[in-house]
Amino acid sequence: MARLARYRFLFVAVIFHLVYIYSIFSIYFVSPVVHGMREHRMENKEAPAQRLVLFVGDGLRADKAFQSFPDPSPGSDACEDAVVPRPLAPFIRSRVLEHGTFGVSHTRVPTESRPGHVALIAGLYEDVSAVTTGWKLNPVNFDSVFNRSRHTWSWGSPDILPMFEQGAVPGRVSADAYDPEMEDYSKEALELDLWVFDKVKTMFTEAKNNATLDAELRKDQNVFFLHLLGLDTAGHSHRPYSKQYLHNIQVVDKGVQEITELIEEFYGDGKTAFVFTADHGMSDWGSHGDGHPDNTRTPLVVWGAGVAKPNVNTSGVAKGHEDGFSYDWGLDHVQRHDVAQADIAALMAYLVGLAFPTNSVGELPLSYLDADLKTKAEALLVNAKEILEMYHVKEEQKQSTELRYRPFSALGDRAHSVDARIAQIEELISQGQIEEAVKETHELMQLGLQGLRYLQTYDWLFLRAIVTCGYIGWIVYAITTVIDLHVVQQQTEIMRTVPSMIMFSSVLVGLYSVLWMQRSPWIYYAYAFFPVMFWEEIWANRPALQKGSKILFASVSSHADVIKLVVSTVGFFLVIEALVQSYFQREIFTICYLLATTWPAFYGYGFVKQNALLVATWVSSCMLMSVFTLLPANKVEDLTLILVGGLLMFTVGLVYLCYESEILKDGSSQEQPAKTATNVLSRSIVGVQVGLVALAMIVTRSSVWYIRAREGLPLGTKAVGWATFIASLIVPSLQRLQPDEHYVHRLVTIFLQFAPSFVILTISYEGLFYFVFCLTLFTWVHLETRIHSHQTRKRDPSGLVPSSNGVKPTATPSPQSSTHRPLTLSDARTALFFFYLLQSAFFSTGNIASISSFSLDAVSRLIPVFDPFSQGALLMLKIMIPFAVMSAHLGILNMRLGVAPSALFMIVMAVADVMTLNFFYMVRDEGSWLDIGTTISHFVIASLLGVFVAGLELGSGVLVGGVDVGGEGNGTGVEKRGEGERVEDVVR
């Protein structure tokens, strides 16, 4: 029965957290995509351009595109003139200075290739459901500039081109992509861009001899899209300040110049518009994804037909440079016109005379247009009608489902309706009041966008209340379950009566009726189900909650006890709040680790003296752990640190192999040394594991050398790397043939099992962290055991404690729980330590809350070709390794303390959502894109902790099942005589 309740609890925990993770998207980030809108375009006006060419330098930062650097070309070191800084993109710079308009395009999170291109070409910010598809396939169909064109020819990456081909009218978009194998991080990335330029040249050359193709190319409203991935690949591999990245900018600039001249020569009519921009930027550490300004600021240069010439200020600094970002570009005298990324889609549609994409939220940037004021005003009004069309369709959908619809106040009454406002603007244009018309149109567009946001988040109050009740209900339900299973430990009455069942059922039926009448998504029903279920379970199990509370607080009798309990409770929640703040400031872990060094001192001088070596090890390990959160979260590859970490792991395995008998010697068992000495298979497996660590160091050094040389990763090196990686995970399972059940041997085996992975998949000091973290866990297990034994002896000097043999029992245990002691208030401290160490595993080597903190350097040693799912899986494995080791140590600690296997895990799951609820209310959908992206990732990580801990609980049983913990494994929590003297031997 207890085991059934335990697995039911874990199942509910996983399902609840997985469902509620999606709640922030239902509340704050509703999909912007709707269908059924009419198209809007400039009528009776000749298009400024007959065709458009779009260049997208994937991963190009705005500053790197315009700053000056010494010549990064291969072989330039031998030239004295090469050290003089100069612009890397002289042709694009000439467009800025003489031919067109430029500015910075501001992107939104996530700053990834797919959402960036969707914003550029479709004018909408990506539907959040695309996260589950890896940004590759269209979760919903959306309109785009390509779909509105007469025909679009596109060249580039197979990860980008298909999404615009699939969503368009059949046959309207041609996509010519290179093979995925070309995206090899171990080779020169610029080859990808040269392939694209060569393909474009080949097509126009072929058109000279192909009348059909020539006729197609000469039609109006054609679009040419060149996706240039080389910069992104070079940035990931070498960082955006590297010679490889900077040289790739030169290659792109030269290619853009050649294609521009080729097209101008082919058509010879001056009717081509050119747009050069990027989908996202690149951080200094070679990654992107979050809202850091280096990732959200990209260059935008537009020139050609219909584009305004540069606005030059000859007497000083021109407008647009007030933020100081472009101070070192040498372009201060040219006005800078910044836009939102989605605005570029509206700009391209206008230039070629296309209908605005029906899902676009972009605003036409008038400063880029070479047109009279009246034409600009009319174009902007058409743009506004397109946005308001979306508002109209979404409002109709919401009105059809709401019981009592509340209209958007700014557009709700007849005097301020959309039709009335549009008529007013048209009247202003006809009267020649252009500036006033433009101002009114901008205001109307803003109201339309605000109305869209109002409709997208219409249900947020209702949903937020439900989700809050759900999380609070889960916390109380989890605590009630822990008390019922692991404190009371006997059958208690379940007070589920007919009136209570009717009451909770009525609440659920009422909620479901409202959701059904409003045709709410199915996920809303799940949100509503959990709070009702949790609070019904709490109400039915209140006798166990009352009885367990009496048992837990039985020792709290005096005022001093009450004060101590209050202080401890406050401290408990202060630590949790500190962990919340650690998501923003990693240095908090440094302070907490330094404070943790004083922990043993709270048990008196006698305890510290009796366990001097153990305490010294704890203090040393905490001080070492405090260093990691002072180191840079974003790292560059350092082979020396990788090998030093590997050497420490190798040394641990070698020392254990040489002194196994002494380390495993147990004073309570005279047969143990002889047993371990004869376990030849077990020792052989450990020897193989030690050898795999050494082999991982060798193959990693070789892989790093080849990748840095840009020679491509040899097949043999990659094969050895994969063989080492897979063998290290499989070989320990052979222990089952002749198991050594000593818990220390099991922990060493687990440590060595993941050591090769941490060598191969590390880029800097992560291997050192793995070594110190495992040492800290090992010491913590033994220190908790000694403290429990110390406190037990203080309470009962005779050494008799409650156990299954009937000696001084505190309650009549149920048969299911008779082998484990009940939980006490002090076990909450142990659970808090585990929760803290769990967080430390996340943040000690980097800011896991930031997508851009991930680096592909390590996984490229095994998968050099770009493959987001496979590479992401390896990165996740690296992140999860410390948790596997941690679950093993907590499983051992459960046994040594004599508590039930799931008890401490369940406490953590009960309190973890205090942090989740914090982050739920911190989620922002307004403000800077950095703030928005950060709050999303914080909430998701905190919410997933419940799933992590449930997985760790199950993993613990697999990793340490059947081990022998000596005297502490008998369910009493008492160490056998002589165990205290052996702890120092184990630590040695």
Of residues 884, 888, 885, 889, the one with CA closest to residue 785 = 889
pLDDT at 724: 92
The distance between the two most distant Cα atoms of the chain, rounded to a whole number of Å, is 104
Distances (CA, A) of 523 to 27, 459, 517, 530: 12, 13, 15, 11
Residue 394 has pLDDT above 60, yes or no: yes
Distance between CA 774 and CA 153 in Å, rounded?
55
pLDDT at 850: 47
The answer to whether the beta carbons of residues 409 and 403 sit under 8 Å apart is no
Confidence class for position 127, pLDDT limits 50, 70, 90: low
The answer to whether the beta carbons of residues 399 and 409 sit under 8 Å apart is no
In DSSP terms, which residues pair with 964 in a beta bridge?
Answer: 742
Distance between CA 196 and CA 255 in Å, rounded?
9
Of residues 774, 779, 785, the one with CA closest to residue 613 = 779
pLDDT at 793: 77
pTM, rounded to two decimals: 0.68
More confident residue, 710 or 983: 710
Confidence class for position 815, pLDDT limits 50, 70, 90: very low
Return the C-alpha torsion angle 133, 135, 141, 145, nearest 10: -170
Distance between CA 343 and CA 119 in Å, rounded?
8
Confidence class for position 843, pLDDT limits 50, 70, 90: confident
382-396, 562-576, 852-866, range with the lowest pLDDT = 852-866
Confidence class for position 986, pLDDT limits 50, 70, 90: very low
Confidence class for position 453, pLDDT limits 50, 70, 90: confident
- In our burial notation (b when 16+ CB lie closer than 10 A, e otherwise), range 817-852 reads beebbbbbeebbbbbbbbbbbbbbbbbbbbbbbbbb
Residue 677 has pLDDT above 70, yes or no: no
Residue 808 has pLDDT above 60, yes or no: no
Residue 649 has pLDDT above 90, yes or no: yes
More confident residue, 458 or 148: 148
Write the pLDDT tens digit of every residue in 699-728: 999 888 888 777 777 888 889 989 998 999
Of residues 357, 455, 479, the one with CA closest to residue 9 = 479
More confident residue, 815 or 301: 301
Confidence class for position 140, pLDDT limits 50, 70, 90: low
The answer to whether the beta carbons of residues 838 and 883 sit under 8 Å apart is yes
Q: Sheet of 151-156: strands edge to edge?
A: 173-177, 151-156, 222-228, 51-57, 272-277, 297-304, 100-106, 339-340
* Mean pLDDT, residues 192-202 taken together: 96
pLDDT at 807: 37
- Collapsing DSSP to helix, strand or coil, 478 comes out as helix
Q: Is 185 exposed, middle or buried (0-12, 13-18, 19+ CB in 10 A)?
A: buried
* Mean pLDDT, residues 99-125 taken together: 90
pLDDT at 803: 40
Confidence class for position 128, pLDDT limits 50, 70, 90: low
pLDDT at 847: 56
Region 53-368: CATH code? 3.40.720.10
Distance between CA 201 and CA 179 in Å, rounded?
19
Distance between CA 804 and CA 812 in Å, rounded?
10
**What are 686's two structure tokens?**
């450990």
285-289, 368-372, 972-976, range with the lowest pLDDT = 972-976
* Mean pLDDT, residues 959-982 taken together: 50
What stretches of 268-336 show up as alpha helix (H) in DSSP? 293-296
Residue 201 has pLDDT above 50, yes or no: yes
DSSP code per residue over 401-446: H-SS----GGGTSSTT-HHHHHHHHHHHHHTT-HHHHHHHHHHHHH
Distance between CA 379 and CA 397 in Å, rounded?
28
More confident residue, 510 or 880: 510
| CA angle at 253 for the pair 93 and 125, rounded to the nearest 5° | 85
pLDDT, averaged across the chain: 84
pLDDT at 31: 62
In the chain, the percentage of residues whose pLDDT exceeds 90 is 43
Distance between CA 449 and CA 435 in Å, rounded?
21
* Mean pLDDT, residues 338-359 taken together: 95
pLDDT at 184: 76
Q: Are strands 272-277 and 173-177 parallel, antiparallel or unpaired?
A: unpaired
* Mean pLDDT, residues 18-43 taken together: 80
Distance between CA 445 and CA 384 in Å, rounded?
5
119-128, 510-519, 752-761, 884-893, range with the lowest pLDDT = 119-128
Distances (CA, A) of 811 to 478, 744, 895, 974: 22, 33, 21, 19
* Mean pLDDT, residues 441-469 taken together: 88
Exposure on the CB side of residue 582, measured as CA atoms within 13 A:
30
Distances (CA, A) of 808 to 335, 577, 804: 85, 39, 10
3-state secondary structure 577-636: HHHHHHCCCCHHHHHHHHHHCCHHHHHCHHHHHHCHHHHHHHHHHHHHHHHHCCCCCCCC
- Collapsing DSSP to helix, strand or coil, 111 comes out as coil
Domain ranges (residues) in the chain: 53-368, 371-457, 460-545, 586-639+733-748+761-794+822-960
Confidence class for position 905, pLDDT limits 50, 70, 90: confident
Residue 806 has pLDDT above 50, yes or no: no
Residue 139 has pLDDT above 60, yes or no: no
Write the pLDDT tens digit of every residue in 464-510: 899 999 999 999 999 998 888 888 877 777 888 888 899 999 999 99
354-363, 770-779, 868-877, 908-917, range with the lowest pLDDT = 868-877
More confident residue, 681 or 320: 320
Residue 640 has pLDDT above 60, yes or no: yes
The answer to whether the beta carbons of residues 963 and 741 sit under 8 Å apart is yes
Exposure on the CB side of residue 575, measured as CA atoms within 13 A:
23
Write the pLDDT tens digit of every residue in 557-583: 788 888 988 988 898 889 888 888 888
* Mean pLDDT, residues 294-315 taken together: 94
pLDDT at 224: 98
Distance between CA 577 and CA 587 in Å, rounded?
14
